[in-house]
C-alpha cells in the first residue's frame, strides 16, 4: 500500500495522523487543565508569573494549560527547629565546625555578679502599672540585679561557685510551630512568597531574641526561666508575622504574612561537656563544704546541749541545797518557838501561883533552908508550919502544872 502518490501523502493516512495528533493534543490539554490539591494544602494560581487571585482548595482544580502555574502551600501546622536543618548542626565544644556542618545558636552569657535576673512582679506592682497604662500591654516580669535578689546567703554563695552562674557560652535549640492561614494564603504569597524566605526571617528573629534575653543573664537562670524566655520570643515572632500588635506602635505589622504562630519554645540549653564537668566538680566541692558545716553545727549543738545539761544539774543541786537549808532553819525556828512557848507557860503558871497567900514567905523559907541546910540546923515555929503546908501545896501546883505544847510542825516532821 502506497502512502505517497507523486510526493503527496495519501489523504486517508493524513487524516488518520491528524486525528491521532488532535486526540493526543486534546487529551494533553484536558489533562493539564486540571490539578489535584492534596488535603492540608491549597494552591495559588499564577499566570505568566503573576498572581491571579485564584486559590484552589483541596481536591480537583482547573487552570489554563501552559499559561497558568499552581504554587502549593501547606496549611497544616508545621514544626520547625532552629537553627534550620538540625541534621547539619554540629554540637561540639570546639569552635571549628567540620565541612558540611553548621554551628548551633551560641549565646555568650554573663556571670552572676553582673547579670540581671527575671523576677515575676507582685500583683500589686502589676495592678499599679496597668492602672497607669490601661491601654498598653503590661509585662508580668521585671529585671533585678544580683545584689538585689531576695535569696538566702547559702544560695548566694552557691551561685557564685556554680559554673552555670559564670560567664560561659551555651548552645541553644529552638522550636517554632506555625502554619499558613488558608484564608490569608494570598497575603503569604504576596508578602513572603516562599516558605524558605519565611523560615529564614523567623530564624533571624529567634537568634536576636535569644541573645537579647539570655545574654544579660546566667546560663543557670536562663534554664530556670525557659518558659518566660520562650513566651517572649513567641511574642516577637507573632509581631513579626502581623498576628498581634506591636507594643511599640500599638498596631499590627503590615503587610501581614498570613501566618499563625501556635507555639514557640526553647528545646534545650546545652552548656557543653567541659562546663558540665566543671559543674560536677563544683557541686562536689559545695557538697563537701556543706558536710563540714553540718558537722561543725552538730558539734556545736552537742556542746550547747552538754553545757545546758550541766547548768541545769548545778541549778537543781543548788535548789535542793537551798531547800534543805530552809527546812533546817524552819525546824530550828520551830524548836525555838516551842521552847519559848514552854518557858512562857511556866512563867505564867508561876505568876498565877505567886498570887496565893504566903507564896513570898515560902520562897523565903526555901532560901533559909538552903542556907541553914549548909550548917545542919532548921528552925520552924508553930504558926509557920501551917503556912509552910499551904505554900508547899502551891509549889507542887507550880511544879506539876501541865504543859500543853502546840502540835508538831508538819514541815519539821517532813524534815525529820
Query: Does 298 reside within a domain?
Result: no
Considering only CA atoms, which of 54, 53, 55, 58 is closest in space to residue 37?
A: 58
Confidence at residue 412, expressed as pLDDT on a 0 to 100 scale: 39
Confidence at residue 113, expressed as pLDDT on a 0 to 100 scale: 87
Task: Answer yes or no: do 126 and 61 share one domain.
Answer: no
Confidence at residue 315, expressed as pLDDT on a 0 to 100 scale: 76
Query: Does 276 reside within a domain?
Result: no
Task: Answer yes or no: do 376 and 255 share one domain.
Answer: no
Alpha-helix runs per DSSP H in 192-256: 195-214, 219-224, 226-240
> At residue 208, does pLDDT exceed 80?
yes
How far is it, in rounded angstroms, from Cα 256 to Cα 239? 10
Task: Answer yes or no: do 257 and 380 share one domain.
Answer: no
Task: Answer yes or no: do 190 and 328 share one domain.
Answer: no
C-alpha cell at 179: 502554619
Confidence at residue 55, expressed as pLDDT on a 0 to 100 scale: 92
Task: Answer yes or no: do 105 and 182 share one domain.
Answer: yes
Query: Does 290 reside within a domain?
Result: no
DSSP single-letter state for residue 248: T
Tell me the DSSP string of 18-62: HHHHHHHHHHHHHHHTEEEEPTTEEEEEEETTEEEEEEEPSEEEE
Tell me what the mean pLDDT of segment 81-87 comes to. 79
Task: Answer yes or no: do 157 and 235 share one domain.
Answer: yes
Query: Does 12 reside within a domain?
Result: yes
Long-range contacts of 92-99 (CB under 8 A, 24+ apart): 93/272, 93/273, 93/274
Tell me what the mean pLDDT of segment 402-406 comes to. 48
Confidence at residue 195, expressed as pLDDT on a 0 to 100 scale: 93
For 17-70, write each residue's pLDDT tens digit: 665 565 555 665 565 778 889 999 999 999 988 999 999 999 988 888 888 899
* Domain count across the chain: 3
- Please, which residues bridge with residue 144 across strands? 117
Q: Decide if 212 contacts 281 (C-beta within 8 A).
A: no
Q: Decide if 180 contacts 258 (C-beta within 8 A).
A: yes
Q: Which domain holds residue 17?
A: 4-74
Q: Decide if 270 contacts 91 (C-beta within 8 A).
A: yes
- Phi, psi at residue 175, to the nearest 5°? -125, 135
Query: Does 284 reside within a domain?
Result: no
Question: What mean pLDDT value characterizes the chain?
Answer: 77
For 233-242, 271-280, 310-319, which range has the lowest pLDDT when averaged over its residues?
271-280
Characterise 193 by phi-psi region: left (phi > 0), alpha (psi -120 to 50), beta (else): left
Task: Answer yes or no: do 220 and 149 share one domain.
Answer: yes
Q: Decide if 261 contacts 177 (C-beta within 8 A).
A: yes
Q: Report how far apart, in Å, the C-alpha atoms of 397 and of each of 197, 388, 394 are.
A: 140, 14, 5
Task: Answer yes or no: do 264 and 147 share one domain.
Answer: yes
> At residue 359, does pLDDT exceed 70?
no
Query: Does 285 reside within a domain?
Result: no
Confidence at residue 200, expressed as pLDDT on a 0 to 100 scale: 93
Helix (H) or strand (E) holding 72: strand 68-74
Domain finish residue from 74, 95, 120: 74
With a CB cutoff of 8 Å and minimum separation 6, the contacts of 230 are 264, 265, 266
Torsion sign, CA atoms 19, 25, 29, 31 = positive
Estimate the crossing angle of helix 226-240 against helix 195-214, to 10 degrees. Answer: 140
Q: Decide if 233 contacts 206 (C-beta within 8 A).
A: yes
Query: Does 246 reside within a domain?
Result: yes
Domain finish residue from 18, 47, 74: 74
Confidence at residue 160, expressed as pLDDT on a 0 to 100 scale: 77
Task: Answer yes or no: do 139 and 160 share one domain.
Answer: yes
Q: Decide if 217 contacts 118 (C-beta within 8 A).
A: yes
Distance of alpha carbon 401 from the chain centroid: 91
For 122-131, 132-141, 322-331, 344-353, which range has the lowest pLDDT when averaged over its residues?
344-353
What percent of the chain has pLDDT above 70?
A: 63
Torsion sign, CA atoms 191, 196, 198, 204 = negative
Q: Decide if 397 contacts 353 (C-beta within 8 A).
A: yes
Q: Decide if 374 contacts 315 (C-beta within 8 A).
A: no
Q: Decide if 188 contacts 259 (C-beta within 8 A).
A: yes
> At residue 384, does pLDDT exceed 70?
no
Task: Answer yes or no: do 12 and 148 share one domain.
Answer: no
Tell me how crowded residue 47 is: count the other CB atoms within 10 A of its CB: 13
Tell me the DSSP string of 109-147: E--GGG-EEEEEPPHHHHHHHHHH-TTSPPPSEEEEEGG
| pLDDT interval class at 416 (50, 70, 90) | very low
More confident residue, 337 or 73: 73
Confidence at residue 56, expressed as pLDDT on a 0 to 100 scale: 92
Helix (H) or strand (E) holding 328: helix 273-354
> At residue 162, does pLDDT exceed 60?
yes
| pLDDT interval class at 400 (50, 70, 90) | low
Task: Answer yes or no: do 144 and 257 share one domain.
Answer: yes
More confident residue, 319 or 413: 319
For 69-73, 94-98, 384-388, which range has the lowest pLDDT when averaged over its residues?
384-388
- Phi, psi at residue 4, to the nearest 5°? -130, 135
Domain finish residue from 47, 74, 101: 74
| pLDDT interval class at 198 (50, 70, 90) | very high
For 99-126, write each residue's pLDDT tens digit: 767 777 888 888 888 899 998 888 888 7
How far is it, in rounded angstroms, from Cα 50 to Cα 62? 17
Confidence at residue 409, expressed as pLDDT on a 0 to 100 scale: 46
Q: Decide if 160 contacts 66 (C-beta within 8 A).
A: no
Confidence at residue 218, expressed as pLDDT on a 0 to 100 scale: 92
Cα separation of the two ends of the chain:
161
> At residue 169, does pLDDT exceed 90?
no
> At residue 388, does pLDDT exceed 60?
no
For 201-210, 312-321, 390-399, which range has the lowest pLDDT when averaged over its residues?
390-399
Task: Answer yes or no: do 201 and 123 share one domain.
Answer: yes
Query: Does 176 reside within a domain?
Result: yes
With a CB cutoff of 8 Å and minimum separation 6, the contacts of 139 are 121
Residue 117, domain CATH: 3.30.479.30
Please state the pTM of the whole predicted model.
Answer: 0.58
Amino acid at each position: 500500500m502506497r502512502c505517497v502518490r507523486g510526493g503527496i501523502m495519501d489523504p486517508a493516512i493524513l487524516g488518520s495522523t491528524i486525528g491521532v495528533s488532535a486526540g493526543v493534543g486534546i487529551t494533553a490539554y484536558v489533562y493539564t487543565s486540571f490539578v489535584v490539591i492534596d488535603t492540608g494544602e491549597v494552591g495559588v494560581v499564577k499566570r505568566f508569573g503573576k498572581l491571579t487571585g485564584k486559590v484552589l482548595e483541596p481536591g480537583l482544580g482547573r487552570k489554563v494549560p501552559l499559561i497558568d502555574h499552581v504554587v502549593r502551600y501547606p496549611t497544616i501546622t508545621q514544626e520547625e527547629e532552629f537553627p534550620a536543618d538540625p541534621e547539619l548542626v554540629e554540637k561540639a565544644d570546639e569552635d571549628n565546625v567540620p565541612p558540611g556542618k553548621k554551628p548551633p545558636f551560641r549565646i555568650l552569657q554573663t556571670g552572676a555578679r553582673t547579670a540581671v535576673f527575671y523576677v515575676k512582679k507582685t500583683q500589686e506592682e502589676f495592678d499599679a502599672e496597668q492602672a497607669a497604662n490601661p491601654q498598653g500591654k503590661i509585662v508580668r516580669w521585671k529585671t533585678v540585679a544580683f545584689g538585689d535578689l531576695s535569696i538566702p546567703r547559702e544560695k548566694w554563695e552557691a551561685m557564685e561557685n556554680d559554673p552555670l552562674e559564670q560567664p560561659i557560652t551555651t548552645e541553644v535549640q529552638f522550636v517554632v510551630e506555625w502554619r499558613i492561614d488558608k484564608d490569608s494564603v494570598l497575603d503569604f504569597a504576596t508578602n513572603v512568597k516562599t516558605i524558605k524566605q519565611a523560615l529564614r526571617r523567623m530564624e533571624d528573629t529567634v537568634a536576636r531574641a535569644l541573645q537579647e534575653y539570655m545574654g544579660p543573664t546566667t546560663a543557670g537562670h536562663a534554664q530556670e526561666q525557659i518558659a518566660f524566655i520562650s513566651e517572649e520570643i513567641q511574642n516577637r515572632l507573632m509581631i513579626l508575622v502581623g498576628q498581634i500588635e506591636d507594643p511599640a506602635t500599638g498596631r499590627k505589622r503590615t503587610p501581614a504574612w498570613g501566618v499563625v504562630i501556635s507555639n514557640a519554645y526553647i528545646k534545650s540549653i546545652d552548656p557543653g561537656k567541659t562546663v558540665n564537668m566543671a559543674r560536677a566538680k563544683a557541686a562536689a566541692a559545695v557538697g563537701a563544704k556543706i558536710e563540714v558545716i553540718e558537722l561543725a553545727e552538730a558539734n556545736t549543738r552537742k556542746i550547747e546541749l552538754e553545757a545546758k545539761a550541766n547548768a541545769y544539774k548545778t541549778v537543781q543541786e543548788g535548789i535542793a541545797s537551798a531547800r534543805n537549808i530552809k527546812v533546817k532553819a524552819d525546824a530550828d525556828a520551830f524548836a525555838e518557838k516551842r521552847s519559848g512557848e514552854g518557858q512562857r507557860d511556866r512563867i505564867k503558871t508561876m505568876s498565877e501561883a505567886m498570887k496565893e497567900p504566903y507564896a513570898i514567905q515560902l520562897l523565903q523559907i526555901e532560901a533559909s533552908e538552903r542556907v541553914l541546910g549548909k550548917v545542919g540546923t532548921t528552925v520552924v515555929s508553930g504558926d509557920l508550919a501551917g503556912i509552910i503546908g499551904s505554900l508547899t501545896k502551891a509549889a507542887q501546883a507550880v511544879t506539876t502544872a501541865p504543859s500543853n505544847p502546840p502540835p508538831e510542825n508538819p514541815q519539821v516532821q517532813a524534815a525529820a
